[in-house]
Amino acid sequence: MASLLLIPKIIMSLYDRTRNRSTSAPVAPADDLAKPVSLPSAPAQPVSDLQFNPDGLISEEVLKGLPENLKIRPLSRSDYDKGFVETLSQLTTVGNLTREVFDERFAKLQKYNEVYFSIAIEDVSIGKVVALGTIFIEDKFIHEAGSVGHIEDIVVNDCARGKNLGRIVIEALKYIGQRRGAYKTLLACSEKNIGFYNKCGMSQKEVVMSVYY
C-alpha cells in the first residue's frame, strides 16, 4: 500500500527533472551553427516574461558585437512600458494597442514559442526598446518536410538608426532561422530598403504577391 502511494511522487519527480532539463540547455558554440537546435516536442509552458526561451538561439557573434548599453533578447512583456509601441509605430500603423490587447497577443505568441521568435534590442542606459524584429518558422511538406523562415516587422527607432542595429537584428533572426532548421529565410520589403537587406547578406529573388482584406 505504502509503495502504491509513492508512485505519483515518483512520476512528479521524473516530470520535474524533464522540465528542468529542457529549460537549461547550454548555449551552442559557434561551430554548431549548422545543426538545428532541438526544441521541446510539445509547446513549452511560458516560464518567464520572455516571449521564447533564448537558450541556444541568440548568436554569440551578435552578442559580442553589441556595445555595453545595448542588450539583445527575446521580446519581454515589460517592453510595452519601454517604448514598444513608439518604436513599432515607426514601421507602420499600430492602432490602439492597449496593455490588455498587448498582453493577450503576447500570451498567444508565447504559447507558439516554437514558431514565433520576436526579439528586441534594449538600450538599458535609458530603459528603452530601440529595435525590434520577428521571425516565424513555416514547417512544410516539401523539401523533405523542410522549414522556411519568414522575417517580419523590422524596425529601428529613429533615435538609434545608422548604428548597425538593423543589421544586428537581421543577423540575430537569420541565426534563429538556421538553428530552428530552416533551409531558407524570406522577407518582403519596399524598394527603398533593398540596399539595406543586401548589406545584411540577402538578395532579391522572385516577387511578392498580396491581397488586402
CB of 154 to ligand COA, least distance (A): 4
To ligand COA, the closest distance from the beta carbon of 162 in angstroms equals: 5
What is the three-state SS of 176-209?
Answer: HHHHCCEEEEECCCCHHHHHHHHHCCCCCCCCCC
- Give the Cα separation of 40 and 22 in Å (integer): 7
Point out which residues pair with 152 in neighbouring strands. Answer: 134
90 scored as a contact of ligand COA (CB under 6 A): yes
Question: Which residue among 154, 172, 176, 182 contacts ligand COA (CB under 6 A)?
Answer: 154
* Residue 164 touches ligand COA, criterion: CB under 6 A: yes
d(CA 77, CA 12): 30
Q: Which of 112, 161, 186, 202 binds ligand COA (CB under 6 A)?
A: 161
Alpha-helical regions (H) of 122-164: 142-145
Asked if 29 touches ligand COA (CB under 6 A), the answer is: no
Is 142 within 8 Å of 184 (Cβ atoms)? no
Name which position in 74, 149, 166, 177 contacts ligand COA (CB under 6 A): 166
| CB 156 to ligand COA: min, Å | 4
The correct pick among 156, 172, 176, 182 for binding ligand COA (CB under 6 A) is 156
Q: Which is nearer to ligand COA, 35 or 199 (CB)?
A: 199
Find the binder of ligand COA among 91, 115, 148, 202 (CB under 6 A).
91
Return d(Cα 57, Cα 116) in angstroms, integer.
12
Name the helix (H) or strand (E) containing 132. Answer: strand 128-139
